[in-house]
Structure 1
Amino acid sequence: MSNVKRISPSAATLRELYILSGNRCAFPDCNHEIIDENGVLVAELCHIEAALPGGERFNSQMTNEERAQASNLIFMCHKHHKITDNVNEFDVARLKTIKQDHENLFRNIMDDMVKSIADHTKRQILNKSKTFQSMNKVLGWDLIDEDLKETVDLCNNEFEILKQLDKDTRIVFSSIIERSERKMRRIVLLSLIQKSLRLNHVEIRDYLDILIRYKLISEPYHDEDYRGYISEIIEPEGWDMWGEIKQFCETKSIPLDDIIVELDFEILD
């Protein structure tokens, strides 16, 4: 047992744990929230097998990384965190059962939601771009047809991703592009999106999770220049594609939603 240290769970691990918590303490029949209506964490992240020696149910055979994985973590209210410190009554097996029973409920609900969304998105029609002739002219690219075809193929691959999203998520992404700005990279202040779309903390978190999952935006991070959290818009092959589509729409006075939300990329032709 050498060099035992506490490792903070990754953002992806915390996101998984929160989603599967259903925003409720995992202890049976407890309805205490994990995050309240103001976006404040009002519960505790608990280790099934302790992070450090001397802690409850510490397992010297685990690695530091294993102790910080989702399988060893569980959200509980303060009261039940203290109650489960009784290792005689709450051993590893019992806590894992509590975690599994609680998360299975919300995992099944999520599976049903995913199936419902999948069925819905399959019915969506994507009008792909074919030539980009209008973009070529409006933005002054002066590309020959052969080069344009490569650009069209690259963009259509990105447009296919949007077809996999539900319409509400595309509305959020369109708002992100519309309110983004480019300095060294294209970024957006996330509080601006939340306020402009009147989303609560849980709603904005869920939408961002989806957009991160589909590699459309980066994980949020704090930026002192903006006094808040920002995300970067992912650029395919280092090209500011969404920024150029935004510029095209502004120049032509076309609502960006007509392209991103309605999936009508033929407008770019």
Structure 2
Amino acid sequence: MRSQLSQRWVAWRQLDGTGMGATVARRKDGTEKNRRTPLPDVARQLFVFSGNECAWSDPNCTTRLVTAENGWVGEIAHIIGAEPTSARHEAWDGKDVDDLRHFSNLMLLCKVHARNIDDKPSRGEFTVEYLRAVKERHEAPYRFGLEQLESEFKDAVAGNIVTPATTMRRYFRWEGVDLDPAEEAEVIALVGKLADRVGTLTRQARQVLALVVKEDEPNCQLIERRLTADSTTLISICEELAGIEAAELYVDEWGEDLPRVVLRGGAVSGIPEMWGQLRMFATSEGIDLNDIIVNLDFSLLD
């Protein structure tokens, strides 16, 4: 395990169909290329199971794909090449082009090994079966660790006790907005649903969420400095937060910005900007946001 969170966590931004995931490259004659950008979920899987190291293992390559200086030195390589002249393309059944950018056909390598398996003088040494075995051997420990954490998840949250908000008088007074009783009741009910959803998270996940809200979507280096956890645990936390639509990992596809955790609105649907409101409320009222989010005491809004 490595200590640098920003070097272990790299994930693609969710795209809405207008960005990188929808791009189709063309050859000089105008026909579509077979090689297409990996879908966001596929790219995320590759990074999660990479351990931030090149997958090459004969001999073992420990090149970090995101360096200590936050440079990107990795490449998403095809096992079966996408284009007719590329390495191992003859193994493709020719049916579905999207199979070529499926998770099972891609692996993360350093630039040296990516070139080694594709260059004409050396590509013949590396069969499809051999590369699949390399990929499986490298990813296996990360898959196992994540599965173990997920199997223990229910036990970790069984004892969570949420103290709900009942009047939210303190919050409404701070907000300075006049609501009629029916509108207040609606907001209280929505905050109650939010509290219940946060209550399904493990304590470590709530600590990360509180920090993300406090620091307004910090980069992963800041999270690493503030909170201690091994990389496999942090990957599991990411899955937890995304599971209740509270937050998710984001990395700039061009590698210009540090990976960071961004807030999502699904957990607070119906209350615009609630995460930001909670941050400003806690700051203004001198409340530690950890008491609300980590300790699950939403009665502090009363």
TM-score category by the smaller chain? 0.7 to 0.9
Distance 1:42 1:3 in 2: 28
> Do the aligned residues in 1 keep the contact of 2:77 with 2:109 (CA within 8 Å)?
yes
| Equivalent residue, structure 2, for 1:184 | none
| Equivalent residue, structure 1, for 2:287 | 254
1:123 aligned onto 2:153 = no
Distance 1:231 1:107 in 2: 22
5 Å-filtered alignment, 1:178-257, equals: 178-180=214-216, 188=217, 190=219, 193-194=222-223, 197=226, 206=235, 211-212=241-242, 214-217=244-247, 220=250, 233-235=263-265, 236-237=269-270, 239-257=272-290
For structure 1, which segment, 189-198 or 248-257, has the greater mean C-alpha deviation from structure 2 after superposition? 189-198
> Do the aligned residues in 2 keep the contact of 1:175 with 1:193 (CA within 8 Å)?
no
| Equivalent residue, structure 2, for 1:185 | none
| Equivalent residue, structure 1, for 2:84 | 53
Deviation, structure 1 residue 16: 1.0
1:151 aligned onto 2:187 = yes
Amino acid of the residue matched to residue 272 of structure 2? W
> Do the aligned residues in 1 keep the contact of 2:248 with 2:263 (CA within 8 Å)?
yes
| Equivalent residue, structure 2, for 1:103 | 139
> Do the aligned residues in 1 keep the contact of 2:247 with 2:263 (CA within 8 Å)?
yes
Deviation, structure 1 residue 32: 1.5
Q: How many residues align?
A: 258
Distance 1:253 1:196 in 2: 24
What runs of 5+ residues in structure 2 fail to find an aligned partner?
Answer: 1-30
| Equivalent residue, structure 2, for 1:17 | 46
Distance 1:195 1:211 in 2: 17
Deviation, structure 1 residue 88: 5.0
Distance 2:172 2:161 in 1: 25
> Do the aligned residues in 2 keep the contact of 1:189 with 1:228 (CA within 8 Å)?
no
- After TM superposition, the score normalised by the length of structure 1 is 0.76
Cα RMSD after superposing both structures: 3.6
Does the C-alpha gap of structure 1 residues 98 and 216 become closer, same or farther in structure 2, counting only changes over 3 Å?
A: same
**Of 175, 188, 208, which residue of structure 1 is paired with 2:211?**
175
Distance 2:63 2:249 in 1: 24
Deviation, structure 1 residue 80: 4.1
Relative contact order, CA 8 A, sep 6+: which one is greater?
Answer: 2
Distance 1:192 1:56 in 2: 38
Amino acid of the residue matched to residue 197 of structure 2? I
Deviation, structure 1 residue 111: 0.7
Q: Percent of pairs identical after alignment?
A: 23
> Do the aligned residues in 2 keep the contact of 1:120 with 1:166 (CA within 8 Å)?
yes
Amino acid of the residue matched to residue 109 of structure 2? M
Does the C-alpha gap of structure 1 residues 26 and 191 become closer, same or farther in structure 2, counting only changes over 3 Å?
A: closer
Distance 2:136 2:162 in 1: 39
> Do the aligned residues in 2 keep the contact of 1:4 with 1:64 (CA within 8 Å)?
no
Does the C-alpha gap of structure 1 residues 26 and 113 become closer, same or farther in structure 2, counting only changes over 3 Å?
A: same
State the SS of the aligned residue for 2:270: helix
Deviation, structure 1 residue 60: 6.2
Amino acid of the residue matched to residue 159 of structure 1? A
- After TM superposition, the score normalised by the length of structure 2 is 0.69
State the SS of the aligned residue for 2:84: coil
**Of 55, 61, 71, which residue of structure 2 is paired with 1:26?**
55
- Over residues 159-197 of structure 1, what are the superposed CA-to-partner deviations in whole Å (9 max), with x where a residue is unaligned? 2332233333323322332233xxxxxxx4537945873
Amino acid of the residue matched to residue 63 of structure 2? E
1:68 aligned onto 2:101 = yes
- Over residues 16-37 of structure 1, what are the superposed CA-to-partner deviations in whole Å (9 max), with x where a residue is unaligned? 1122123333334524234355
